[in-house]
Structure 1
Amino acid sequence: MQLIDVSDYAVRSAVFTMRRKDTPLTFLLLPMVHVASPAFYAQVKGRLAECDLIVLEGVTGKSWRASVLLLAYRFAPLRRRNGLVEQTTTNVLPPGVPVLSPDVTAAEAMDELRKLPRWTYWLLLLLAPVMGLVFALRGPRAFLDPDLTVEDLPSTARAEMLADNDVEHALLGRRDERLLAALARIHTERRHEPITVAVVYGAGHMPAVVHGLLDAYNYRPRDGEWFTVYVPDP
C-alpha cells in the first residue's frame, strides 16, 4: 500500500479508513510527514476535528541524543522561503477531542538505538543534522531527489546500509508495539461504538498499523484520499 506519493508536482499523503463488517468502530489513518506546508497541517486538523479520539505520536521526556535526531526536521523550516513548518500539537490538534499518546519516552527510544553496533549508532546521530541542513538549503525539492526518502528519519543513498532490519527495529519496533497495544485495547473496549479513532503517526509506522489491524482483527482499508503535503516551486 502506497502511503506517501512523491512526484515532480507534489508530495502527497494517503489518508484512509479501516473498518470491519461486524462492528461500527472506524480507524482513520493519517500518515504524517513531520515537516510540511501549513495547509497540510490545517487539512489534518480539520479532519481530526471530526473524530472521537486521537492516538498521537509523541516521544516524551528529554535526551540530548534524541534532540540531535530531531534536528533532521528542526532545521528544515528555518529558511522561510521554503514555505515549510514543523509539525506541532498546536497546528495539528483541534480543541475538544480526547488524545491518547502511547509512545515511548526519549530514554526508551535511545535505549533501543544503543543496542545497535556503535558505529551505526553514531552515524545515525551524525546524519540527522546533516540531512536537516540539506532540507533547509534545498527546500521541498530535497524530498523529490531520488536519493532521498520521506520517512521518520531521512536517508541518502550513501546511508542505504543503515536500512536493515536491525536499524528499522531500533527506530520503530518498540514504538510500533506500544501503538498496536493501544489500538488493541481500543478495539477490545470500544469496537461496538460508532466512533472514529484517528491514528496520527509518522508514515514509517503505518505499515505496522495496517498489518496489525488486518491480521489480528480483520480491519480492512476502505475509502481514502490524498492530502497534499506541499507543492514545490516551479
Structure 2
Amino acid sequence: MQIIEVNGYSVRSAAITMRRSGAPLEFVIFPMLHVASPTFYSQVRIRLRACDLIVMEGIRGRSAGVSALTLAYRFAPRRRRNGLQEQRDELLLPKDVPVINPDVTAAEAMADLRTLPRWMYVLLMISAPVMGLVFALRGPRAFFDEDLEVEDLPSTLRAEMLADHPVDHAMSDRRDQRLLDALGEIHTERGSESIRVAVVYGAGHVPAIVSGLWDRYAYRPREAEWLTVYVQS
C-alpha cells in the first residue's frame, strides 16, 4: 500500500481509514508533509472537522538542536514563488475538535539523537540547514523525486536500507512508541464508541502506525483517499 505517491506532475498523500471487525471506532491516518501547497492543508482541515478527536504530532518545548533540524523545511516557504507553506497548527486544526499530543519533548528528541556516533550526530546537525537552503532554491522541484515516496512496507533494497538507518531509529523509535501507546489507550477506553480518531503525523511515521495498529489491535486499512500535496504548474 502506497502512502506518498510521486509522479511526473504531482505529489499525493493517502489518507487511510483503519477499522477493527466488530468495533465502531475508526482511526483515520493523515500522512503529512511539513511543507506543501496551501490547498493540501485546506483539504486536511476540512476532513478533520468530521473527526471527534485529533492525535497530533509535535515535539514539545524548544531547543537549539531541534530548531536547527527543522530549518530543512522552514526555509522553502520563504520564497513566495515556490507556492508552498510550512505546516502550522492554525492551518490544520478546527477549533471545536479536541487535540492530544503524545509526542516527545525537545530534550528527549535531542537525547535520542546524541546516542548516534558522534561523527554522525555532527554531520546531521550541519547538513540540516544546508538541505534547507537547497530546498528553498529548488522549490517544488524537490518534490519530484522518488526518494519522497513512502510505502507501508519497503519494496526496494534501498528503501529497506534507509528504513534501518541509525538516524531514522534515533529520530522515530521513541516517538512511534509513544504514539502507539496513546492510540492503544484510546482503543481501550473508547473502542466501543462510534467515533473517528484522526492521526496527523509525518508520512515517515505512518508505516509504523499502520503496522502497530494492525499487529497490536487488529485494525485493518479499509479505505484510502488521495489528497494532492502539490501539483507542478
Question: 2:82 aligns to what?
Answer: 82
User: What does the per-residue CA deviation read over 1:186-215, in whole Å, with 9 as the maximum and x for residues that have no partner?
Assistant: 000000000000000000111111011101
In the alignment, is the contact (CA less than 8 A) between 1:12 and 1:226 conserved in 2?
yes
Question: 1:21 aligns to what?
Answer: 21
Aligned identity (percent) is 64
User: What does the per-residue CA deviation read over 1:75-115, in whole Å, with 9 as the maximum and x for residues that have no partner?
Assistant: 01011000000000000101100000000001100000000
The alpha carbon displacement at 1:163 in A equals: 5.9
In the alignment, is the contact (CA less than 8 A) between 1:25 and 1:194 conserved in 2?
yes
Separation of aligned partners in 2, 1:201 and 1:30? 7
Question: 2:148 aligns to what?
Answer: 149
Q: Structure 2: which amino acid aligns with 1:184?
A: G
Separation of aligned partners in 2, 1:161 and 1:205? 16
1:167 aligns with 2:177: no
SS of aligned partner of 1:194 = coil
User: What does the per-residue CA deviation read over 1:106-133, in whole Å, with 9 as the maximum and x for residues that have no partner?
Assistant: 1100000000001111111122111111
Question: 2:222 aligns to what?
Answer: 222
1:60-75 correspondence to structure 2 within 5 Å = 60-75=60-75
1:125 aligns with 2:125: yes
Q: Structure 2: which amino acid aligns with 1:46?
A: I
After TM superposition, the score normalised by the length of structure 1 is 0.92
Question: 1:7 aligns to what?
Answer: 7
Backbone CA RMSD of aligned residues = 1.6
In the alignment, is the contact (CA less than 8 A) between 2:4 and 2:12 conserved in 1?
yes
Question: 1:157 aligns to what?
Answer: none
In the alignment, is the contact (CA less than 8 A) between 1:120 and 1:162 conserved in 2?
no
After TM superposition, the score normalised by the length of structure 2 is 0.92
The alpha carbon displacement at 1:164 in A equals: 3.9
Q: Structure 2: which amino acid aligns with 1:149?
A: L
Separation of aligned partners in 2, 1:27 and 1:41? 19
Q: 1:18 to 1:218 in 2, by over 3 A?
A: same
Q: Structure 2: which amino acid aligns with 1:113?
A: L
Separation of aligned partners in 2, 1:44 and 1:145? 23
In the alignment, is the contact (CA less than 8 A) between 2:4 and 2:148 conserved in 1?
no
Question: 2:157 aligns to what?
Answer: none
The alpha carbon displacement at 1:161 in A equals: 8.5
The alpha carbon displacement at 1:165 in A equals: 3.5
SS of aligned partner of 1:21 = coil
Question: 1:192 aligns to what?
Answer: 192
Q: Which runs of 5+ in 2 are unaligned?
A: 151-159
SS of aligned partner of 1:95 = coil
Question: 1:53 aligns to what?
Answer: 53
Q: 1:134 to 1:163 in 2, by over 3 A?
A: farther
User: What does the per-residue CA deviation read over 1:26-56, in whole Å, with 9 as the maximum and x for residues that have no partner?
Assistant: 0000000000000000000000000000000
